[in-house]
């Protein structure tokens, strides 16, 4: 068996409290005990089967610590200093590309000391940095001796400053992307990308024939309530076009909750919409997928959303927007349906068609997930890439 490899997964949020606290309403304790709903936890789980020990790294405005969870995960909180505080107190500083870039540089510089200490204490061989279009990668690949793998999880590059990105890409040991389109974009900046998609636990997210789908069709949306990206408002407008027995369940939290409540009232569908809040427990989320008639994902942009993979693995049909990250997984008309971004009328039609073909689309969706996106399929490829990244840096040294 290959020697044990140790990797760290550095999450892209500027600090835990910004995304998980303010964004999702999670305390640190609840995050550690219940939350398992993003790529980092899945990577830890599937890499463990490949003799790779992964530790999640996340910056924090409070106390730093290394936590071993009861179910076997490792999470290291990297404390920030007062250097980051002006950007927290005055968020308008990040509204311009230059301001955002400087904020990202300051944030990366602020965590550098504790990051180095963590990498040393954990004997990390490879650092995986989420979202490489940010300034964080630019600084870390120049400041660290550890092999750095850049990881795509959906951040669009169109508003990011990329003046030194070519040099940053050349310094990375590897680049992991979710789509072929993203790989081509990375290549334009000199990066050699490999498409290794997010993966789902196909043994956990399964259909359950004992769970009955109600006579009234239910649309399920799962995700952060950030309408500029997720376009939940389009789902509401589609709901208003569908017969009155249709319902919408929204599982998520975020800054646009109040706006969506107002919109549902304006559209006259408030009594047909149920807000479930953020669902942290995977079993509860699986039950929602199983009971739903169809899952809607009309996003303006994505990496490779876990919601998509989990719903399809549960044999629940998905109606998604026709964007690269979704179109590479959903084969229109066979494993789900695709619609243009920002077209509630087309979305309503597709939701009705998906409901009518629920069993057929769901069966094909699950088969495609097990073939290409199941963790036993993706895990060995990811482990091989990480071992190669470590070896390449060792040889260069």
Do 290 and 316 meet the contact criterion of CB atoms below 8 Å apart? yes
Residue 1: the pLDDT is 42
Q: How far apart are CA 306 and CA 199, in angstroms?
A: 8
pLDDT of 379 higher than 80:
yes
Predicted confidence (pLDDT) per residue in 210-263, tens digit? 766 667 899 999 999 999 999 999 999 999 999 999 999 999 999 999 999 999
Confidence at 95, pLDDT banded by 50, 70, 90: confident
Predicted confidence (pLDDT) per residue in 36-94, tens digit? 888 999 999 999 999 999 999 999 999 999 999 999 999 999 999 988 777 677 776 77
Residue 272: the pLDDT is 98
> Residue 78 forms beta bridges with which residues?
59
Q: Which domains does the chain have, with CATH numbers?
A: 5-199+375-396 (3.40.50.2000), 218-372 (3.40.50.2000)
pLDDT of 355 higher than 90:
yes
Predicted confidence (pLDDT) per residue in 155-203, tens digit? 777 677 888 999 999 999 999 998 888 999 999 999 889 999 999 999 9
* % of the chain with per-residue pLDDT over 70: 96
pLDDT of 397 higher than 50:
no
Residue 92: the pLDDT is 66
pTM of the model: 0.87
Could you please report the per-residue DSSP string of 183-201? HHHHHTTT--EEE----B-
Please, what is the average pLDDT of the chain?
A: 92
Residue 155: the pLDDT is 78
Residue 219 Cα to chain centre, angstroms: 21
């Amino acid at each position: 068996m290959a020697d044990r490899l140790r990797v760290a997964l550095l999450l892209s949020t500027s600090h835990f409290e910004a995304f998980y606290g303010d964004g999702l309403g999670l305390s640190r304790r609840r995050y550690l005990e219940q939350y398992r709903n993003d790529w980092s936890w899945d990577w830890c789980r599937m890499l463990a089967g490949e003799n790779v020990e992964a530790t999640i790294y996340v910056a924090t405005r409070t106390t730093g610590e290394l936590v071993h969870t009861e179910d076997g995960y490792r999470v290291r909180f990297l404390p920030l200093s007062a250097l980051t505080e002006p950007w927290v107190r005055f968020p308008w500083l990040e509204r311009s590309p230059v301001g955002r870039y400087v904020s990202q540089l300051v944030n990366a510089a602020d965590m550098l000391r504790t990051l180095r200490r963590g990498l040393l204490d954990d004997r990390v061989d490879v650092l995986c940095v989420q979202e490489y279009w940010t300034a964080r990668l630019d600084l870390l690949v120049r400041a660290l001796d550890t092999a750095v793998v850049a990881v795509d999880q959906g951040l669009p590059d169109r508003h990011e400053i990329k003046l030194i990105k070519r040099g940053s890409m050349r310094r990375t040991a590897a680049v992991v992307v979710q789509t072929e389109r993203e790989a081509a974009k990375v290549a334009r900046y000199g990066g050699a990308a490999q498409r290794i998609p997010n993966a789902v636990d196909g043994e956990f997210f399964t259909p359950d024939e004992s769970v009955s789908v109600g006579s009234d069709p239910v649309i399920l949306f799962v995700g952060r309530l950030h309408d500029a990206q997720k376009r939940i408002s389009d789902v509401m407008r589609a709901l208003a076009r569908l017969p009155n027995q249709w319902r919408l369940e929204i599982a998520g939290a975020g800054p646009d909750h109040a706006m969506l409540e107002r919109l549902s009232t304006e559209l006259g569908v408030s009594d047909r919409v149920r807000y479930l809040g953020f669902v942290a427990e995977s079993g509860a989320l699986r039950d929602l997928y199983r009971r739903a008639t169809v899952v809607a994902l009309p996003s303006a942009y994505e990496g490779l959303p876990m919601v998509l993979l989990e719903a399809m693995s549960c044999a629940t049909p998905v109606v998604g927007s026709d964007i690269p990250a979704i179109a590479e997984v959903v084969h229109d008309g066979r494993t789900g349906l695709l619609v243009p971004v920002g077209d509630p009328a087309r979305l309503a039609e597709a939701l009705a068609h998906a409901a009518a073909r629920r069993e057929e689309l769901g069966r094909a969706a699950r088969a495609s997930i097990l073939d290409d996106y199941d963790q036993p399929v993706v895990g060995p490829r990811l482990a091989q890439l990480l071992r190669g990244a470590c070896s390449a840096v060792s040889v260069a040294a």
